[in-house]
Structure 1
Amino acid sequence: MCSLRTVLLLIVAAASTGAAAVDAGAAAVDAGAAAVDAGAAAVDVGASAVHAGATAVDAGAAAVDAGAAAIDAGATAVDAGAAAVDAGAAAVDAGAAPAAAVAAAAEVTDINITGVVTAPRMLLEGEKLYLSCQVDGDFNICGWDSPLEEIIYPEDLTDPDADIIHFPGFNCGIIVKEVMVAHTGHWSCIATTDQGFAAVGEDIIVRVRESWPGVVTNISSPLFGKWGEWGEVQLCPPNSFADSLELKSEAPITGDNTAANGLLLPCRQQGGDLPATITSTVADFGTWRDPVSCPVPEYIHKFQLRVETEDAFDDTAVNDIRFTCTNNPEVVMSGGGESWGVWGDWASCPNDTAVCGIQTKVEPYMGLAVDDTSLNDVRFFCCPTVW
């Protein structure tokens, strides 16, 4: 049997335990209330999410519908594009036949076009441009297609004071009196028939006058006579070059022979004009031989001298000269002089240049009692044909 003290201690311990349980229960109640509040907040968030989701579903459905419509429109566009491709292919086929017919007609025509300078030419502003063109055969009309975006018909050029006139000697040739930079481009001589056409063209480049570089170097023969004095230098006008040569030479005589006495160089501009003829010192003996010319539009590019260096009885120094042209180095042209002495090595202007000036070394007349030689040496000057 428990004592009263033990009973009282048990009662106190139970009371303490109950109070702690009450406190714990109160805390649990508070925690539960917080959980309830958090749950309510979560319910509110969930409800908002549900509303937002429903809205998104509606928008998504609308986007799906719009995408389906776009797919349908794209399919329609693809069909239309395919139809256009088919139509284009048909047009290409339809166009190819007449184009081929025109080309064939142009190939079988009897038109013959000659005289056109097909090599590119470079001119300075203000130069004359000679555009030669001769059309032979059964043709309707001929003219020049120009960079000015117009067809120039020679038969319409009746005013001699106009800027562009007919080129005499060529039924379809024209002359531009003063070129401008605007004339730069492709020029074509065209002739037509009922069946087609034929055309031959050339490229023209026009530079301002201030761009002309002038002389770039000079060249001399490695073989020459030892007598005489150098004369004055003469140069062709800007952008013109020696395209031919005339030799003055004394034919063999009984007595004091001099052979070559001097040279003349006619100057031609790239446009075709002949603005000047240049020379240097020329002695008194002999006659002028026939001029020897390069084909248009070529110019003297290299030369060699035939020289009798020294003879015990009658010295003649330079006897003859040979040269080649810019685009025909294999064709050697002779001045037509005398045959004493030997040929020296060639002296050549640099590439893309041509002879544009001359200086000669000549022994003046020494009198009856002294051996005369006249021309002893030649120096040529070179200017650029392209710059």
Structure 2
Amino acid sequence: MLLRYFAYVVSLTLILTCNAQTDARRVTETLRVANGGQYGSWTTDEFCPPHQFAVGYDMKIEPYQGITGDDTTLNAIALVCSDIERQHFGEKAVTSGQGPFGDWKGRVTCNQPIGSAAFLSAFDLEVEGPQGRLDDTAAGWVKFKCTQMDDGSVQDLVKDPGHNTGSWGGWSSFCPRGSAICGLQTRIEPNQGNGDDTALNDVIFYCCALDEGGSVVGK
């Protein structure tokens, strides 16, 4: 009986260790913008699988609710993942916490040059500031830069714009050379019931090196 219990403890420890290694990533940089919304709480960080990076994104958007409706606009962001060899291109998408309103708009991905790979490397967030007694929406849209990994060339990646409710705050810094966005964490205001909902307020993105160097971040 004691031997069986010992074997169970060892197996459980191995499972927990493997899960921790799967969830954690080595982060080289954390990307932020200065204009994020102030409502809600930061949710869990989420990452692409090991050795995969963000090759594109999707947004969960609540459409315009009319003059008297309660708008939230951006409710979630999903990162579309791929390895550098593109053997698992788009098989996995990850999202941090999300608001309950709206629908996914559809994925967009970086152009992939022949013989190379391009991943997300910087972002800009459209945010509406506090409106007082009027309807608050906070974050409304997000756009990215893609960097080609072999030569460092950059391209824009922008999903067709939605209902404009805010202002772009300026681009974040770029992931260091040889790294790309690999995960995210969102600041979400939960459903306010009869109150004014804003859903997604702010987001940070994590960069990981292609060689997986850097500090460990994650669950």
Superposition TM-score, scaled by structure 1 size? 0.43
2:100 corresponds to which of 284, 288, 302: 284
* Structure 2 counterpart SS, 1:322: strand
Amino acid at match of 1:256: D
- Cα separation, 1, equivalents of 2:122 and 2:160: 13
Q: Deviations over 1:331-371 (max 9, x none)?
A: 34236443111001111222221100111100000111x11
Larger Rg: 1
2:54–2:182 contact (8 Å) kept in structure 1? yes
| Aligned partner (choices 240, 245, 256) of residue 52 of structure 2 | 240
**Given that residues 308 and 342 in structure 1 are in contact (C-alpha distance below 8 angstroms), is that contact kept between their aligned partners in structure 2?**
yes
Alignment partners' CA distance in 2, 1:385 and 1:337: 33
In the aligned structure 2, how far is the partner of 1:303 from the partner of 1:354? 12
Does the 8 A contact of 1:320 with 1:335 survive in 2?
no
User: SS where residue 158 of structure 2 aligns?
Assistant: strand
After TM superposition, the structure 1 = structure 2 runs for residues 156-235 of structure 1, keeping only pairs within 5 Å, are: 214-235=26-47
Q: Rate the CA distance shift 1:335–1:364 in 2: closer, same or farther, 3 A.
A: farther
In the alignment, structure 1 residue 345 sits paired with structure 2 residue 170 = yes
Please say if 1:354 is aligned against 2:166: no
List aligned pairs for 1:123-134, cutoff 5 A: none
Seen in structure 2, the aligned counterparts of structure 1 residues 344 and 302 have a Cα distance that, compared at 3 Å, is same
Percent pairwise identity: 34
> How far apart are the structure 1 equivalents of 2:135 and 2:98?
20
Structure of higher RCO (CA pairs closer than 8 Å, 6+ residues apart): 2
Task: Indicate the residue corresponding to 2:122 in structure 1.
Answer: 302
Letter of the structure 2 residue corresponding to residue 366 of structure 1: Q
Q: What residue identity is the alignment partner of 1:217?
A: E
Unpaired segments ≥5 residues, structure 2: 1-24, 214-219
Aligned to 1:314: 135
Secondary structure of the structure 2 residue equivalent to 1:216: strand
Tell me: CA distance 1:321–1:222, structure 2 relative to 1, closer, same or farther (3 Å). same
Higher helix proportion, which one? 1
Q: 1:262 aligns with which of 76, 81, 84?
A: 76
How much is the aligned-residue C-alpha RMSD, in angstroms?
Answer: 1.7
Map 1:117-156; keep pairs closer than 5 Å: none
SS in 1 for 2:186: strand
1:249 and 1:281 mapped to 2: Cα distance? 14
